[in-house]
Amino acid sequence: MSVKTLPLSHEKMTQIANTYPTPFHLYDEKGIRENARAFRNAFAWVPGFKNYYAVKACPNPAILSILKEEGFGADCSSYPELLLAQKVGITGEDVMFTSNDTPDSEFIAARQMNAVINLDDITHIDSLYRNAGMPELISFRYNPGPERTGNAIIGNPVEAKYGVRSDQLIECYVKAKELGARRFALHTMVASNELDGSYIVETARMLFNLALKLHKETGIVLEFVNLGGGIGIPYGLDQEAMDIQKVSDGIRALYESMIAGTSLDPLKIVFECGRMVTGPHGYLISKVLHVTSKYKEYVGLDANMANLMRPALYGAYHHITVLNKEDNEKDHVYDVTGSLCENNDKFAIDRSLPEIEKGDILVIHDTGAHGHAMGFNYNSKLRSAEYLLHEDESVEMIRRAETVDDLFATLNF
């Protein structure tokens, strides 16, 4: 069971919703900081532990700056994400460049920034070397293929476009070393929105085994293993957050039995988690434009799927709180929709909620990762603003809403 809370009282949330034009995303700085600290503390036993926050989850400089202060790095997958990290002062090896199908220009940029380059493919070794030279530190992304089943969301590793095959992995390191690499790392990501902690522990076991095998066969000593992102959050009330301390304890036990005392010790462990860091601390705040009855009962919001794609894209559950009606009986069943000309533009289908009236304020939970970031302009919808709720309860706009001029900026009239 998970409990969905708001960062402030209903009264104060209402005040904010009536002060700034809806819809908008509101991020809770206190929640994000506490969460980031808990993650770091759980892995305090790992010398040099770092989470490289996946920038794609919430690409906003204010959020990245907070995470930088909490000791996080940035995981980037494109040139603009690399630039964003630089602009907030996350630089050098605090930046992980985990890309795929990578243009040469991005290898050059990542190399100029001295980011850690995590190669997705054996053929990328040549691309990188020819265009930017071989860096001192190089990482490879591993795809275990049939040796491991992925989780439901990321799918079967055999079908995944990512990573280096098992039989190519050793060759990758040998080749990179021949071309001048001196420091080495290993990455994998076989889960997305996973809530079963044992899956993460087993991924660590897989990487430790590979690290030992690589050392045995080539003498190469890995500097770190990167468990990627993919730790889930309990979107549904019936789901339970992953116990990160338990995951850490499980990985520690494996470390003690497999790595401690070997020539790989100390082996750093890092992550690239995005969702679990900011996801639960974002809220999409929206007002009800229409309540109506067709063949079903509908609540129409001023937000739409351009503000939050996940329900339409994945059929994902996002909890909804109706402000100031928390104690009312949830005796109405609604489809909660946006205004896009797409029938899947629904935030909830057949959701039991209290009776809703025009003007009510709905808070859609868990939008702090892969929320605003997935926004788009289909139907010429304008993306909303983002606000940050500071620890002193003041509210700061950290991205303004788009205007028609923004939308037309790339057009010739």
Q: Given the complex with ligand PLP, which of 228 and 250 has the nearer CB atom?
A: 228
Contact between 274 and ligand PLP by CB under 6 A: the answer reads yes
Q: Are strands 361-364 and 282-293 parallel, antiparallel or unpaired?
A: antiparallel
User: Residues 117-156 vs ligand PLP: string with x where CB under 6 A?
Assistant: ----------------------------------------
- Cα 381–chain centre separation: 24
Q: Given the complex with ligand PLP, which of 23 and 274 has the nearer CB atom?
A: 274
Strand partners of residue 335 = 298
Span 2-31, contacts to ligand PLP by CB under 6 A: none
Residue type, 347: F
Contact between 32 and ligand PLP by CB under 6 A: the answer reads no
Contact between 286 and ligand PLP by CB under 6 A: the answer reads no
**Chain length of the chain:** 413
| Closest CB 277 distance from ligand PLP, rounded Å | 8
> What residue is closest to ligand PLP based on CB?
229
Task: Say how far apart CA 280 and CA 239 lie, in whole Å.
Answer: 13
Choose among 125, 103, 205: nearest CA to 170.
Answer: 125
H helices of 113-196, in order, are 124-132, 166-178
Q: What angle do CA 228, 249, 67 make, to 5 degrees?
A: 45
Q: Given the complex with ligand PLP, which of 142 and 347 has the nearer CB atom?
A: 142
| Closest CB 410 distance from ligand PLP, rounded Å | 27
Q: Given the complex with ligand PLP, which of 154 and 353 has the nearer CB atom?
A: 154
Phi, psi of 177 (to 5 degrees): -65, -45
Choose among 70, 407, 102, 66: nearest CA to 82.
Answer: 102
Size of the site for ligand PLP (CB under 6 A): 16
Task: Say how far apart CA 271 and CA 22 lie, in whole Å.
Answer: 35
Task: Point out which span in 78-86, 229-237, 282-290, 316-324 binds ligand PLP (CB under 6 A).
Answer: 229-237
Contact between 345 and ligand PLP by CB under 6 A: the answer reads no
Contact between 189 and ligand PLP by CB under 6 A: the answer reads yes
Choose among 218, 222, 157, 160: nearest CA to 186.
Answer: 222
Task: Point out which span in 50-58, 260-268, 298-306, 352-360 binds ligand PLP (CB under 6 A).
Answer: 50-58
Task: Point out which span in 176-184, 253-261, 268-276, 396-404 binds ligand PLP (CB under 6 A).
Answer: 268-276
Of the residues 58, 172, 273, 341, only one is catalytic, namely 341
Q: Which residues fall within 8 angstroms of residue 242, CB to CB, at 6 or more apart?
A: 194, 195, 196, 197, 200, 231, 232, 276
Task: Say how far apart CA 318 and CA 345 lie, in whole Å.
Answer: 13
Contact between 229 and ligand PLP by CB under 6 A: the answer reads yes
172 annotated active-site: no
| Closest CB 51 distance from ligand PLP, rounded Å | 9
Strand partners of residue 395 = 389
Contact between 234 and ligand PLP by CB under 6 A: the answer reads no
Contact between 230 and ligand PLP by CB under 6 A: the answer reads yes
Q: Given the complex with ligand PLP, which of 161 and 294 has the nearer CB atom?
A: 161
Sole binder of ligand PLP in the list 369, 373, 385, 389 (CB under 6 A): 369
Structure tokens, 104: 């040469």
Contact between 309 and ligand PLP by CB under 6 A: the answer reads no
Contact between 192 and ligand PLP by CB under 6 A: the answer reads yes
Contact between 367 and ligand PLP by CB under 6 A: the answer reads no
Q: What is the DSSP string of 280-347?
A: GGEEEEEEEEEEEESSSEEEEES--TTT--HHHHH-----EEETT-TTS---EEEEEE-SSSSTT-EE
Sole binder of ligand PLP in the list 46, 57, 225, 306 (CB under 6 A): 57
Please give the residue ranges that form the binding site for ligand PLP (CB under 6 A): 54, 56-57, 75, 98, 189, 192, 228-231, 272-275, 369
> So which residues are the catalytic ones?
341
